[in-house]
Structure 1
Amino acid sequence: MRLLPISRSHTSVLTRGRWVFAPNWRVFSRRPEYQSSQAVALAQNPSTWQTPGVASSNSASYQQSISSKLPGAEVESHSNERLAISPNQPLVDSSDLCDPDIFLSESKLPAAELESNENERLAITPNPLLIDVLDLYRDPGIFLSESKLARLRALAVNNSTQLVVITAQYILREVPQLDPRIGDLLCSNEKWLAKLHRLARNGLSAGDVSYWAWTLVSPDPDVRVARFMSKPCQKPLFLLCHLLLKNAHFSPDSFEGLLKYCRKWCSYQQIGRGFAKAFARSYVLNPELFNRVAENLCFHASRLQSDALPEIADLSVAYIKSIAQRCQHPDKAYEFQCKVFNGALQAVSVLSKRTPYQQASQNWRAITILLSLSSSLKHPLIIEGESYRAIRQVLLALPKTASERKTAGALSSSWPPYRILRDGMEEKADTQEYLSRVVKAGFMMQEAGYSKKEIDVTTDVLGGMAPDGSPTIQTRAIYPRHLRVEQGTWAALVRATRNAQEAWAAFTNPPESGMRPTFEVYWELMVKLAARQADPRHHNLPGDGREVFPFDDRNLSDFEKARISPPSMPQLIEQMYNAGVAIEERPLAWLLRRAPDIETALEYISHSSVDEALKNSLRQCLKVSQKPVITIPTRPSRPIDLPHKMLHATVDLLCRLQPNRTKNTPDYLPKHKLYSIHHAFRLAQTGRNLAHTSDRPPLELIMLALGRPNIMVSNTAPQDNNIEVVKMALKVLGEAEERGALTLDMLNAFAHAIRKLVYSSISMSLSSTSAMLPGDEEFVSLYRARNTELAVPNGPNVFRRPDAADNVDGSWRQIHTPVFEAQQEQENLQTPCKVVREASERLKAVWRVLLTKASAHPPFASPRVSEMNIYHYMRTLVAVGDLEEAVLLLCWTVRDWAPAAGAKLTPGKVRTLTKAVIVFRAFAEPLLDERAVASLREEIETNSEQGGPVHWPADQQVEEYVQGDDMGNHQNLHEVVKSAASRSKIIRCQELGKDNDVD
């Protein structure tokens, strides 16, 4: 069948391997120089690998003791530091390596050397032998299966001189109480020293092996990376590959360190001088290994920091260019270039684990960098079928373009949703012009000679085209190219609809007669039933999100409306149960999060396919929260071990069911109705801290619930209830700090809770008809005018305290923690003023913990701090009257945060920053000395003239912000601030009058 014609003028069409729309980017992005606090400590005071009978590999005595035992005459002690050469220096002589290139020469090697080369490649990859020996070292009493024991015994008798084998044997020899079945096979000390002597003759030393082993043995991945980065030299590839294993859940700072290392050593096929041919391949990346390194880097970038994907693409571009420069065979070079190019395309297409939709633009930017390289070459690189699928996967996650939005806004309300042609130009246009980029990329893949598979048909459906060529709703989706779903096309047809009625019609009309729906088909219908109605004030179009749009039933009879109406969620779950469709752990967690009440949640549990033990545990957790209680326990009666998905879902459900105070809320609620969030906190305390999960931590869910505007945790008056909310928030944050789970979202929720207490206290003070009570006077005393100019530090690092950080080793976080360990006893926090003061002090300390990254010398502004964090923090500071901190926050935003954010600031983010300055002007400026305000204004305006994102707002903007609060909280706070400023002026005039009388 002839393929449908594709317009060559469309900006997203690939023509013979070239993506003509991709910008020809040549400027590589650069990240701040990384040096973790652990690496700093290691570099300044190299630690020793403390193992029984092993001295420090870095000590001179150790080097001499090894050298003296080596057979033969004098042996020079080699240091790995000599390998840290510049990338621009000449590489090892070609005569020392295999001709023409070290990674292209295997076809010309003798058979024995080919076998050795293959062994070396296997050794460089994630090696099960290395993993086995590290597991044994960390836990000598671990049970050894027959296969693991066989591998370790084979390692013990291995006579290879491969670096990974020698390092593994080094670690194996230091395992305490080594199993005799393994230990008896190890070579004697004389043979071991002879093997180390062969290393020394080839440019390495026993100290190098000890350093590699010391790097690997730590069970903490962050410590392993810090040790790896403690020496600024090139390391064997097996070290890098092991650190980048996908099950290594290291921190963002560690990832930045590894990326910095790869930028220096992995963009070229380079090694330092002094290596013999025997070990050269342990340091040089061939295309296969480069693809593996790039794939693992992209995996960790998607987990931690998606904005690093363009840098990895730049790294791949540099490597691809170096192949052409150093390979003497053009055909072979082109083959390897295509191999790396396609591996990089597929690697950078891995979407973010936590925020895939928000970060998909980073994936697309990385892809365009690679496509721009191909377009710039004389012979464009070949794009494989899997690479096309990777590109389509990213395009599917991107928001609609302007032309796609225009098409989506012109679809008919009937089904199929054909485009309504609104003028003669549209009638003359080819229908292919209205296809989405996803569908057009599919046609390009066919044009390149690749046949479509089921995953491609499913992608077409989500991209806006059904298998029969009729239109569907272009749907933004996360659909991995490796995903193989039974009846995936049918599930996609259910999803690519606008509402539950259309989804139910697609569900009841399978693509082929006789098909029975699988769980995936049911799942898409479940999501449609649970989706919220689209907000008419937003500009979302069908398919932009999970929300559903109104169904046009104006011309339908009541009978027809009833016929096409989908079942309710409980009815659908019961239908699945009767049909024998399993509801496993993950969809059950999703259902529990959306259950309207405990009874419905219990029904979902009963109809699920999880084991009975888990069902009983879940039932117990939910039923306990509904029992009448006299006093709230401080700890769970017994630990409950739930899978983390189930724990998160249960905590989320209990927090959502915590009541809110509304105008229809009775004066008194039964205590068990107020117990849900307390029970959720007890459950969260029993859960394990899994930092690598993409779900929000349970404690963060509780904090977000406490930040809700009208949440009730007691039957007391609003002000007293808000006091209880803040007290509970302090407990939750203390638990989170103990687990190392403090997040910026938790800080935002804590700030919300503090502001609620402030606003309710101010409202009570202003509404009092009698004289001001002592408690009100104490609270109003928070707002005092500053008659003297505040001391603002000069230059960047505004929040850094030299007296606390200059002489302290370690990270910024280590200097300021613990935050909540020294907080006052809850019994001492009785009045609103005391609670607000205590909470605001803790808030400031948490802010200092989370706003920076890397070490305290100096602290960099964390890229995880957003403009919304700054805005909410500023609102809270002015609400509690902390003027000094508000001034510091404004200076830090201008001097530290904005330069680090750079080009990532969109117009919407700039408007949020302006709102933060408006808040400062409205509630802090009236209480500050005029000279301090003038100095701040001058700095901000100067920065704005130089292109900075922070602007000084006009008086009209300030007035509109104050009067724009429908709740009246801004007006009340503004009145209190103006009263405090007026009192300060009166007092100042009285003091001046007294001075004049004295004169």
Structure 2
Amino acid sequence: MLRSAIWELGRAWQVPRHVAVGSKGTSQFLSRGTLRRALSAQGASVPPPWRHQRLEPDSDGLMHNGNRSDRSDLRRRLAADKQREESIPDLPSWTDPAPLRRGTERRLGMTKSWTTLSPSHLLESLLVNHHPDDGVRKNTAMIRSFRLPVVLMQIRLRQEAEADPEHNSEILELLPSKKQWQKVMDIMYKNGHTKETLDHYLYILLGANDEERCRRFLEQDTPKPLFILSFLLRAGSSIRNVAALNGLLRYYRDRSCSTPRQDGADSAFAGETRATRSRLAMLNMAPDEFSRLMSRFAHHCRRLEPRLLTTLADIVANRIKWHQQSLDPPTKIYHVQCGLFNSALGTFASRAGLASRHKQAPNAYFWEAQRILLEMSDQLAKPLLVDKAGFMAIRAVLAGLPKNQAEIHSAMRHSQTWPPYLRPGDGMDEKMEPDEAWTRTVRAGAMMQEAGFSKDQNDEALDVLQGLAYDGTPAIQQRTPVDIKKQLRVWAASIKATRNAQEAWGRFQQPPKKGQKPGLEEYAAMFEKLVARDADSTVSSVPGNNSLNFPVLQEENLAEFEKARLRAPSVDELYEKMKLGGILPSGQCLRILVSNADSLPTAHRYLMQSTMLRHQWLSLLSNNPDPEALGEVPLNIFAAYIGVCARDTEQPRRKMVRAMRLIEIRLEREPRLWAPYLWEPILKNLGQHHVSLGISLGEQLRLTMQLVRRIQESHGFPLSLFHQFSRCLKRILRREAVALLADTKSEDGATTNPLGLLYDPDAREVQATEQHDPACEPPMSDHSEDDSPLALVRRAAGCLKELFYELVAEEKKRQALLGSNEVSRLDAMLLRRDPVSAPIVHDYMLSLAFAGEFEEMARVVKWLMLEWGKGSLIEEMGALDEVPLEADMLDTLCAFRAFAEPMLEHAMTNSVLDALNTSLVGWTWPDDELVQGYLNGRVEDEANKDLSKVLKWARQQQQQQQQQRRRRQSRDKVIADADEEPGNKRHN
């Protein structure tokens, strides 16, 4: 095409050859007037024999055939055009005609190449905005092109104009003439697009939203143009249905590599041109087009369901093997395969669009996707080569995986001194070489060096984070997400690869190079260590798995002065040191400072002294922020500021309402992906005492449920928000249980407490017979609901149960879409989207207990036994030395025994025990001693013991009521018998 373009320009206009090459996508080297006349010409102005004449450059670089008069004429025309250029009205820049035309387009004055606007941008401008402005519509009508996206949009504009010609007369004039349009339709038909197919393409594109467009796209299992699929997978697509994304993946698989490769040119014989072009559009797409679609699919998989990345990896592996059928030279085929292979490795290592911020990010599925590609490479006759970027992608994924058994064993052998040399734990450790204790990421780095790639600063920093310091000494392996596009620093990595702030401060004061000054990354790493909380000694955890401070042995023979000198500074002291060094907080450093600020004024000080622009931080401080300026604030800084506002103790209600208002303004411009990230601190702090919020208990419960419904309707309610909601409800009801326990110690205090009937089963049965509205139903205008605290608590518990079953049902649908893979069954369980992990389900059980939902607790325990009792999972967990915290259900079973078992009938409790005995889960049923130890646990769980006492009081009250009921029934029976005796005597 480039050669043809050069020939056209040289033949028609005799411009320099370097101008023709440089003006492929722009007309900046030629006057606009000359280009317009040249492009609008209805034929070549130069006789055909010039085609065979050899053009020679002159001293000015112009191509000529020896006739200097022609060159003089050209110069005069160019000068005249330059003078008239200002008087000619300019077309919009993105519709300027481009110089590359051929054939029919040149004769009709149409343009085929694009300048600054791609067809995808055109589609987005016209379709995403449901009411595009007249300027966009007019510019689209003015374009003259055979590009299918343009033709479809002009079909739509023609339909609208003909339906309302009075208001669209100008659009009709700007659209192609009847002659041009008929020629366009003829070309479309020759390219395989009939009127029916064009109507179907338009039917897909004109869906109300992306969900509807995907549904229409998948209605018919027929080939569609590539640009429609690319449009559906654009970065701003609002696809929310995982089933729709899976359907697009199936289409992508079936159309890209499921049939033998055919060359469109070879198969385009008479009678089959149209069918071949449509059928092989995806099959014969270029590698870069396939990679572009792969990247878009990966982005939406990470956004909606990262576990589908393994399905995408299978498609990529099949496509790479499919290239072996090509008739191209073997070296070219191998080059294409290696390029696609390494591109896919990097795609599956990217974290762009990933919603999860916790350590349960689906790294196991990232690694499984890469493993599928590596296994495919090994099966080829000539294994594919991994380049430097491919090695970095593999190491980045390995760095985010949980420690395996060998790495845990090495982590437990670290000495309490620095450097943390490995101490032998047994005789086998004595015989090990130092490199045998390297982590998987460090080993992959050694393989990279063996392949001929030298390590750069990024590689050395990653080695430090994974347990090998730059001087060869050991460090503390960190489980940390690694962004392959972000530059790492060795010094900052050495500060992170420590066990506590004391060790981090020692690394901070020892730069890799003498005299090197700490930068922003080093200060950010040090601040992160200073604000980390201490590890819980009662919980088994390995240093590096969490951002916690782990204790180490202190030197006893140091003087107090030396201990004070070695002690890590406070946050304020380090901040002042950073400012004295001329460094202003920004990025990750600013986020850490703002999110851990002890008050809102302190957070304001950090923002005002940062590198943020003035109008950006002013939008955070303002009560009426500018949406444009608020949208420019980095999302992590915005979320950190929301967290400070939500937990501020001075005027908390006002600050909470303001934070919610800021979120609403931001989410109008932000994708729904980040909604849980922003709403979590609000739900977390709504659980504080209602007195501190300045509202009543009923208003607090009502506000919480309204917020939950609002989030659910607009953004969905993922597992992270469900966990926060359950913890919020648990915190609210814990305080009420403590107050109820205090009231039970008085004679009639419990009778006046509005929640005194919460744990009375008889009262619940009465309410069940009287209440017909479903739980969590919003108030209706034509009837009033019971807004008593008791009714609101039960509605909140009903809302929580509904969310639980929605998550369970949604996870079942997702499981049906996932194919088979070799991901660890335990990892697969912990990465599910329903409350199946121990910490989340334990909080949910406690919320149910405080809400009096004891039968629901029994159903949840049975469900857990069913999910965790699968054979392959049991075998895998049996091989572990220690059960992970996320899979340890002992606290959950203790909660059931402590709270639900005494309040349930024996038949219900026996059914739970029978389910445990028949299940393969192998859990140990906690005895009374374990249950009592659970109730006497940590200080923050003191309310659990209070709830147990309240339930004991409720059972006593129930027994007393039953005794009174039996006595009343006995008395009534005696009275009834006495009334019958005289009657019997009279009858006799």
- What TM-score results when the alignment is normalised by the length of structure 1? 0.69
Partner of 2:258: 268
Residue by residue over 1:500-549, the C-alpha shift from the partner in whole angstroms, topping out at 9 and shown as x without a partner, is 34433433443334544332222222222222233333443443332233
- Structure richer in helix, relative to its length: 2
Partner of 2:959: 982
Q: What SS is found at the alignment partner of 1:369?
A: helix
Q: What SS is found at the alignment partner of 2:205?
A: helix
Amino acid at match of 2:511: P
State the distance in 2 between where 1:483 and 1:870 align.
36
Q: 1:212 aligns with which of 196, 201, 208?
A: 201
Partner of 1:829: 787
Does the CA contact (< 8 Å) of 1:819 and 1:845 recur in 2? no
Q: Does 1:135 align with 2:125?
A: yes
Does the CA contact (< 8 Å) of 2:899 and 2:951 recur in 1? yes
Amino acid at match of 2:146: N
Q: Quick check: 519-528 or 640-649, which moved more?
A: 640-649
Residue by residue over 1:170-216, the C-alpha shift from the partner in whole angstroms, topping out at 9 and shown as x without a partner, is 45656779999987564234543554455456654323223323433
Amino acid at match of 1:456: D
State the distance in 1 between where 2:715 and 2:613 align.
32
Does the CA contact (< 8 Å) of 1:765 and 1:776 recur in 2? no
Partner of 1:483: 486
Q: Which runs of 5+ in 2 are unaligned?
A: 1-100, 107-111, 263-271, 819-830, 878-882, 981-988
Partner of 1:590: 592
Amino acid at match of 1:517: P
**How far off is 1:893 after superposition?**
6.2
Amino acid at match of 2:948: Q
State the distance in 2 between where 1:578 and 1:836 align.
54
Amino acid at match of 1:224: R
**How far off is 1:391 after superposition?**
0.6
State the distance in 2 between where 1:653 and 1:346 align.
36
**How far off is 1:681 after superposition?**
4.3
Matches within 5 A, 1:560-709: 560-584=562-586, 587-619=589-621, 642=630, 643=633, 644-658=635-649, 672=651, 676-677=655-656, 679-681=658-660, 683-684=662-663, 686-689=665-668, 690-692=670-672, 694=674, 696-707=676-687
Q: Does 1:223 align with 2:212?
A: yes
Aligned pair count reads 815
Partner of 1:397: 400
Matches within 5 A, 1:89-488: 128-137=118-127, 138=129, 142=133, 156-159=143-146, 163-171=148-156, 173=158, 186-189=175-178, 191-200=180-189, 203-217=192-206, 220-253=209-242, 254-269=244-259, 275-284=274-283, 285-324=285-324, 332-351=332-351, 352-355=354-357, 357-358=359-360, 359-420=362-423, 426=429, 428-484=431-487, 488=489
Q: What SS is found at the alignment partner of 1:969?
A: helix
Partner of 1:864: 833
Residue by residue over 1:615-645, the C-alpha shift from the partner in whole angstroms, topping out at 9 and shown as x without a partner, is 4454556xxxxxxxxxxxxxx8999974454
Does the CA contact (< 8 Å) of 1:404 and 1:434 recur in 2? yes
Q: What SS is found at the alignment partner of 2:667?
A: coil
**How far off is 1:245 after superposition?**
2.2
Does the CA contact (< 8 Å) of 1:853 and 1:860 recur in 2? no
Amino acid at match of 2:535: A
Does the CA contact (< 8 Å) of 2:524 and 2:588 recur in 1? no
**How far off is 1:308 after superposition?**
2.0
Amino acid at match of 2:793: V
State the distance in 2 between where 1:397 and 1:434 align.
18
- What TM-score results when the alignment is normalised by the length of structure 2? 0.70
**How far off is 1:595 after superposition?**
0.7
Does the CA contact (< 8 Å) of 2:776 and 2:798 recur in 1? no
Q: Which runs of 5+ in 1 are unaligned?
A: 1-110, 117-121, 622-635, 659-670, 792-802, 805-815
CA 1:144–1:547: 2 relative to 1, 3 Å: farther
**How far off is 1:354 after superposition?**
1.8
State the distance in 2 between where 1:916 and 1:860 align.
30
CA 1:756–1:420: 2 relative to 1, 3 Å: closer
Amino acid at match of 1:239: I
CA 1:782–1:576: 2 relative to 1, 3 Å: same
Q: Quick check: 475-484 or 505-514, which moved more?
A: 505-514
State the distance in 2 between where 1:400 and 1:854 align.
27
State the distance in 1 between where 2:509 and 2:814 align.
64
Residue by residue over 1:4-25, the C-alpha shift from the partner in whole angstroms, topping out at 9 and shown as x without a partner, is xxxxxxxxxxxxxxxxxxxxxx
State the distance in 2 between where 1:306 and 1:271 align.
30
Q: What SS is found at the alignment partner of 1:395?
A: helix
Does the CA contact (< 8 Å) of 1:754 and 1:839 recur in 2? no
Does the CA contact (< 8 Å) of 2:727 and 2:843 recur in 1? no
**How far off is 1:602 after superposition?**
3.4
CA 1:276–1:652: 2 relative to 1, 3 Å: same
Does the CA contact (< 8 Å) of 1:461 and 1:489 recur in 2? yes
**How far off is 1:236 after superposition?**
2.5
CA 1:421–1:268: 2 relative to 1, 3 Å: same
State the distance in 2 between where 1:924 and 1:409 align.
39
Q: 2:797 aligns with which of 815, 836, 840?
A: 840
Amino acid at match of 1:380: P
State the distance in 1 between where 2:365 and 2:181 align.
50
Q: Does 1:733 align with 2:708?
A: yes
Q: What SS is found at the alignment partner of 1:554?
A: coil
Amino acid at match of 1:405: I
State the distance in 1 between where 2:861 and 2:355 align.
33
Report 1 or 2 for greater relative contact order, CA contacts < 8 Å, sequence distance ≥ 6: 1
Amino acid at match of 1:748: S
Does the CA contact (< 8 Å) of 2:492 and 2:521 recur in 1? yes
Does the CA contact (< 8 Å) of 2:500 and 2:549 recur in 1? yes
Q: Does 1:880 align with 2:858?
A: no
Residue by residue over 1:867-921, the C-alpha shift from the partner in whole angstroms, topping out at 9 and shown as x without a partner, is 2555444444454344665566567667899999989997658966676566556
State the distance in 2 between where 1:194 and 1:991 align.
97
State the distance in 1 between where 2:383 and 2:625 align.
67
Amino acid at match of 2:563: K
Does the CA contact (< 8 Å) of 1:786 and 1:929 recur in 2? no
Greater C-alpha radius of gyration: 2
Residue by residue over 1:835-861, the C-alpha shift from the partner in whole angstroms, topping out at 9 and shown as x without a partner, is 323433444454455554399999999
Does the CA contact (< 8 Å) of 2:420 and 2:475 recur in 1? yes
**How far off is 1:271 after superposition?**
9.4
CA 1:589–1:274: 2 relative to 1, 3 Å: same
Q: What SS is found at the alignment partner of 2:761?
A: coil
Does the CA contact (< 8 Å) of 2:309 and 2:365 recur in 1? yes
State the distance in 2 between where 1:123 and 1:449 align.
42
Q: Does 1:971 align with 2:948?
A: yes
**How far off is 1:727 after superposition?**
4.0
Q: Quick check: 818-827 or 683-692, which moved more?
A: 818-827
**Over the residues paired in the alignment, what is the CA RMSD in angstroms?**
5.0
